[in-house]
Each structure stands twice: as C-alpha cells, then as structure tokens.
Amino acid sequence: QEPNRMEGVDTFVVVRNPYERIISEYYCSSYGYKGENPDDPTVFNDWIAGNVTLVTRELHGHMLPQHYYVYDENGAKVIDHILRYENLAEEFDKLMMEYGLPIRMPPKTSQTVYRTYKLRGSENKLIFKVGDISSSNIQLINEVYARDFEYFRYPKIQSYVPNS
C-alpha cells in the first residue's frame, strides 16, 4: 500500500452541488461538450446521460463522485475541512483565519455573468440551469451521486420542475 502523503498535514477540499457540478462539466473546456448545437436541451441531456452513465461503469474521471476524495472505502473522513463551492469565498477566508494565514479569496468579478451566460467566441449564449436537466437525468444523478448528496447535505430534487 502506498504511504499517505497527507499524513500530518491539514487538508481541505471544495465540494459542489452535484446538479450544478454536472452543468459546469458540460461547459468545461477540457472535458465538456465540444460538438454541434451546444445550446440544444436534447444535446445537453444526451451528454449528461452518456457521461454520468460512463462514470458508473468506469468509476474514474473528471466526474467521479466527490465523496471518493473525502471518505475512504469504510466511510471514514480522510479530509480535515470540507468547503462548499456555493460559499467558497466566505468559507475559505474563515478557514485561513482559523489557521492565522493572511490569505483571502479574491473578490468575484465575472462569476455573476457566468451564472447566466457562457461566452463562446464573440457570442453570449444562455447557460443551462438545473431546471433544464431532464427527469430521467435527475434520477440518474440522484443515484450516481447519492453519497455526495448524503455526505455533503445537498438536497435532492425528487420531481422534475421545468426551468426552475
């Protein structure tokens, strides 16, 4: 067995709401969708279905459930601090203050714009929201990322509400 390189070191990880994470992955320049009609909801949902299903078969990759990085195979937490992406600046700054470190998260600049639009070339395109995820994909995400919802206390969507 490989020695634990993090032994004796305080660690933190940033986790994200699984639905929002999947949407972000779709737009990721390295791993996201690169084909035609990126703003088509059918293309978006087909991409989710294919990639989330792939995670269940291969159990590796960029979309691996986050709990694998935070908990071991026995369910024991192996990371000291869990920060939520949704409150990252506040939680990061608080953690740095706890350690007496003068490091602070830079203020947000383009994040507000990113939530509504995704810049593609010279065109602004609408970005998908959780309400654009199909009912079958909501169920798939709920199953594949079940422990992420549980361990990190993110609420699951139980029924599909279009464009919410």
Residue by residue, pLDDT tens for the chain (164 residues) are 777 777 889 999 999 999 999 999 999 888 889 999 999 999 999 999 999 988 876 766 789 999 999 999 899 999 999 999 999 999 999 999 999 999 999 877 655 444 444 444 435 566 899 999 999 999 999 999 999 999 999 999 986 555 54
Closest listed residue to residue 25, CA positions, set 156, 144, 106: 144
The 3 state secondary structure assigned to the chain is CCCCCCCCCCCEEEECCHHHHHHHHHHCCCCCCCCCCCCCHHHHHHHHHHHHHHHHHHCCCCCCCCHHHHECCCCCECCCEEEEHHHHHHHHHHHHHHCCCCCCCCCCCCHHHHHHEEEECCEEEECCCHHHCCHHHHHHHHHHCHHHHHHCCCCCCCCCCCCC
Q: Which residue has the tokens 């608080």?
A: 94
Q: CB–CB of 84/14 below 8 Å?
A: yes
Report the distance separating Cα 25 and Cα 42, nearest Å. 16
Q: CB–CB of 145/18 below 8 Å?
A: yes
**Cα 146 from chain centroid (whole Å):** 13
